[in-house]
Structure 1
Amino acid sequence: MDVFTSAPLAHTPCAVALGNFDGVHRGHVLVLSQVLDSPNPTVVTFEPHPREYFSGQTGFLLTPEQEKLDLVAGLGFVQAVVLPFNEQLARLPAVQFVQEILVAQLQVKRISIGPDFQFGYKRGGSAALLRELAPSFGFEVCICSEEQWQQGRVSSSAIRAALEQGDLTTARYLLGRNYLLRGTVVAGDGRGRQLGFPTANLNILERKFVPRSGVYRVSARWQKEERLGLLNIGYRPTFDGFTRSVEAHLLDWQGDLYGEILTLELLQYLRPEQKFGSVEELKRQIALDISMALAVPES
């Protein structure tokens, strides 16, 4: 998939799915799918996320930029236009955004959008505005209905809420896949190796949402390798830790992973993080965690 940070560089004319698409969840896939059968299906999204730009908050993204683009490419898109979200774009009125970027630069013929997505200066643009402008500019508008589940609307916030509870079943349903953590393996303090359970310490992007602290059953991938493993997220209270770590113990594997990019697919939440009375008690619990992870049949 071709990725452009400037709309005039994109292949035109095109059909556009417009949105932030953080998570690329079931609701997003519905919006994205509406343009896939059109010439030059194109995702138009923003970097950084507008919420990051306006609030300065970080650590909430389900899918940082590259992960989002990888997922979108897997759906069959030929190109993505990632517009730099800066002061100039933030102050661009919605009608000008449509006229200058979507129509003049991208020569859009079809636009797919979620029912509540807003764009342009002070969020002045909406699905209703696109419908109003469509006859004048000669494009078609597809406004997708909201994807629902038993507790309401499928949304990125609902996925984060599930992950905060360690509820991987709900998160998996809303995403349509398992949640991923990806990071470079960096040197730790060697505590896991001293315990007899060496771990790969991951440097996770600060912008990436990290789920509830605790122990998870995961599938770990790097290069052409894949192994079952345990993931510990937390502060290692048995050793009075103060900083959160994300570290994986790979089952049935030994070797040096420093510098590798490890992708962890979260399969099952096993237990909360807890403080043990002794190192030996912790080691016994880790052995039980491994037995529990191995006892789950592969699907």
Structure 2
Amino acid sequence: MPPVPPYPVFIDSHVIGGFGRGSSDLGIPTANIPASDFLASGIPKGQTGIYFGLAKISGKYGTLVRHTSPEENGSKPPATEIVQTEKSIVPKDGVVLPMVMSVGWNPFYGNSEPSAEVHIVHKFAEQFYGAAIKLAVLGYIRPEQNFASVDALIEEIMNDIRKAKEILAENGFKQIESNEFFK
């Protein structure tokens, strides 16, 4: 079954620093993209929540050298400085992979600005700030919501990941992996 309009939506962006909560608080690392790239992508305006699809990381990447906390930045996404290096994404990490993406205000954390946080279902050897990221958003899982605890939030994220993997496996989205967009 092919994606239902408005999907697929293709986003070509780059990885930026986020709040640092995905890895540290939740144990679920994310590759953040500028929320403006997502909002300009053709997804229905104002539809925050959890999406699924495919992602590919490529190019050169750097290290996060300065990362302001949400407290320093007044609940806005932290300011970051990325030092570009000569490191390139290794071939085993630069393939098309399943992803889930949270877009919105993260009510559990009370963000004052929207964010777009992509969890790629893959174990990367290193962080890859500044790398190019291509996303094929293939559908919507659920609206964003608040949670009573970090454990409840983690449990729901794990459910979202399972659901995305099941949908991608069952619905014949494999042909999207070979789309010209990812080449």
Say if 1:186 and 1:262 are closer, same or farther in 2 by CA, change over 3 A.
same
Q: Which amino acid aligns with 2:154?
A: K
Alignment-derived partner of residue 236 in structure 1: 106
CA distance in 1, matches of 2:18, 2:57: 19
User: 2:28 matched to 1:208?
Assistant: no
Alignment-derived partner of residue 184 in structure 1: 14
Structure 2 gap segments, 5+ residues each: 59-93, 173-183
CA distance in 1, matches of 2:98, 2:41: 22
Identity over the aligned pairs, expressed in percent? 29
Q: Structure 2 length as normaliser, TM-score?
A: 0.64
CA distance in 1, matches of 2:12, 2:34: 8
The 8 Å contact of residues 183 and 205 in structure 1, kept in 2 or not, is answered as: no
Alignment-derived partner of residue 118 in structure 2: 248
User: 2:53 matched to 1:218?
Assistant: yes
| SS of 1:288 mapped into structure 2 | helix
The 8 Å contact of residues 22 and 30 in structure 2, kept in 1 or not, is answered as: yes
The 8 Å contact of residues 184 and 204 in structure 1, kept in 2 or not, is answered as: no
| SS of 2:108 mapped into structure 1 | helix
CA distance in 1, matches of 2:42, 2:157: 21
Q: Structure 1 length as normaliser, TM-score?
A: 0.40
Larger relative contact order (CA 8 Å, sep ≥ 6):
2
Alignment-derived partner of residue 262 in structure 1: 133
Alignment-derived partner of residue 160 in structure 2: 289
Quote how far apart the aligned CAs of 1:170 are.
2.5
Alignment-derived partner of residue 125 in structure 1: none
CA distance in 1, matches of 2:140, 2:22: 20
Q: Which amino acid aligns with 1:235?
A: W
Quote how far apart the aligned CAs of 1:213 are.
0.7
Quote how far apart the aligned CAs of 1:278 are.
1.0
The 8 Å contact of residues 217 and 229 in structure 1, kept in 2 or not, is answered as: yes
The 8 Å contact of residues 216 and 267 in structure 1, kept in 2 or not, is answered as: yes
Q: Which amino acid aligns with 2:57?
A: W
RMSD: 1.9
| SS of 1:248 mapped into structure 2 | strand
Quote how far apart the aligned CAs of 1:180 are.
1.5
Q: Which amino acid aligns with 1:202?
A: I
The 8 Å contact of residues 220 and 263 in structure 1, kept in 2 or not, is answered as: yes
CA distance in 1, matches of 2:14, 2:144: 23
Structure 1 gap segments, 5+ residues each: 1-167, 173-177
Say if 1:238 and 1:210 are closer, same or farther in 2 by CA, change over 3 A.
farther
Q: Which amino acid aligns with 1:245?
A: S
Quote how far apart the aligned CAs of 1:252 are.
2.1
| SS of 1:249 mapped into structure 2 | strand
Answer with 243-252 or 218-227: which moved more.
218-227
The 8 Å contact of residues 181 and 204 in structure 1, kept in 2 or not, is answered as: no
Alignment of 1:21-36 (within 5 A): none
Q: Which amino acid aligns with 1:295?
A: E
CA distance in 2, matches of 1:189, 1:203: 12
CA distance in 1, matches of 2:152, 2:120: 21
Alignment of 1:42-57 (within 5 A): none
Quote how far apart the aligned CAs of 1:280 are.
0.8
Moved over 4 A (4+): 204-207
Which structure has the greater CA radius of gyration? 1
Q: Which amino acid aligns with 1:208?
A: A
Alignment of 1:54-203 (within 5 A): 169-172=4-7, 178-194=8-24, 195-203=26-34
The 8 Å contact of residues 182 and 204 in structure 1, kept in 2 or not, is answered as: no
Q: Which amino acid aligns with 1:243?
A: E
